[in-house]
Amino acid sequence: MNFIGISLTHKTASIEVREALHLSKEESSELILRLKENIFSSGFVLSTCNRTEIFGFPKDGKFDFQPVLKTLLDFKHVENLKPENFVKYFSCSAVKHIFKVASGIDSLIIGDSQILGQTKDAFQLSEDLEFTDSVTKRIFDTSIKVGKLSIRETLIGEGAVTISFAAVQVVGKIFSSLENKSALVIGAGETGELAATHLRDKGIQRLSIANRTFDRAEKLAKKLNANVIEFDKLKDKLNEFDIVFSATSAEGFILEYDDIKLNMKKRKGQPICLMDIALPRDINSKASQLDNVFYHDIDSLNIIVNQNLQKRQSEIPKVEKIILSEMISFFSWYNTLDIVPTIKAIREFFEEIGNDELEKIKYKLSSDGFEKVEDMTHRLLGRLLHNPTMRLRQIAEKGTDPNEVASMSVLVKELFDLNSESHEKETK
């Protein structure tokens, strides 16, 4: 199977290199057109924040990675790239790698739920640009199946494995429902945005954003349909919120013990959940001593994250079983692509001989006699070809090595000289 690929990921390159090599959708489209013109008959390009990968079937049928790499680097000029930044895959290993990516076990965060959607998008782009054939479509479909089975039949995607999501899950355990709760997110950076997005996804009733730079808070609030709190009025408004996430890069505490104590008086003892997901911390941990104050910081949340990561790690063997099963199924199908034409050619070869011999005696027998001989001939050919046909199918369906199946197909064709027209000449 002349299917090859190159891959640069978080395992082989720094974040700076990955960022430099990252391809937008428009760039992926343009690169596909170049690959389609000169290198591959079909394939796909996948580029995310943690990987850039190119896979396909070479037009010349050779396992030559250099033209693929050259096309990529001519298209996207990146300094400081080294050969060891790329991993090369071919045949079975290429298919297995794609299945692993779709399942999430090759991700920076094991069980990453986003990668399956990103893989789907990459496959769809290839289809839109007519960069597919029956084999690549089968790889695409099976990859998506592997991803879905991994989610449905294992716990590979269960449990929070980011600080932001872990914090939201803890909040969900403190409050039975977020539908009638209000939340404030302090900080509009990446961590704050993640926390705010998770809260919105969990159905928080009222969401507000506060940030030292008002414009940035306003931009995030607009994106999430949230309110904006002016940073210098933060402490005065604190009592209005049941949940507070703080994720700034400030030096020193934003909220002191006395700020929280005064807030609790205003709230008349109603519980408040404080999630300090900043480093260094934004909230004085002494506040956890106050009644009805539920406080967590990065250290306590990291314990949850690490526990969930270990659980996901333990699910990898289950995912690998799914991948192995689907690989066997895929290559069983793929192997029949070589065998089916061979079976057809053998049948046509014997049928030609049978029809030719019947034609020779057609006018030497009565009509009734000829029908009996014709029927006997067809039954005889059917019995003679039954076992070879079934055996060839079994070899194709059970074998996982496409080269072995291809060799068997070549051998059969050589035995019966099915690659030439000599047998046709002999029967004329």
For the annotated catalytic residues, the residue numbers are 49
Please count the CA atoms within 13 angstroms of the CA of 240 that sit on its side-chain side: 14
What's the rounded Cα separation, in Å, for the pair 287 and 360?
A: 103
Interacting residues of 395 by C-beta distance below 8 A, sequence separation 6+: 335, 339, 405, 408
Residue type, 63: F
Q: Are 293 and 315 in contact (CB under 8 A)?
A: no
Nearest to 182 by CA among 242, 117, 258, 98: 242
What's the rounded Cα separation, in Å, for the pair 86 and 376?
A: 62
- Per DSSP, helices labelled H in 175-297 are 190-201, 214-224, 234-237, 257-266
Token pair of 330 as six digits: 């895929």
Interacting residues of 277 by C-beta distance below 8 A, sequence separation 6+: 163, 164, 167, 191, 195, 245, 246, 247, 297, 298, 301
- H or E element, residue 210: strand 206-211
Scan for tokens 């959607």, then name that residue. 117
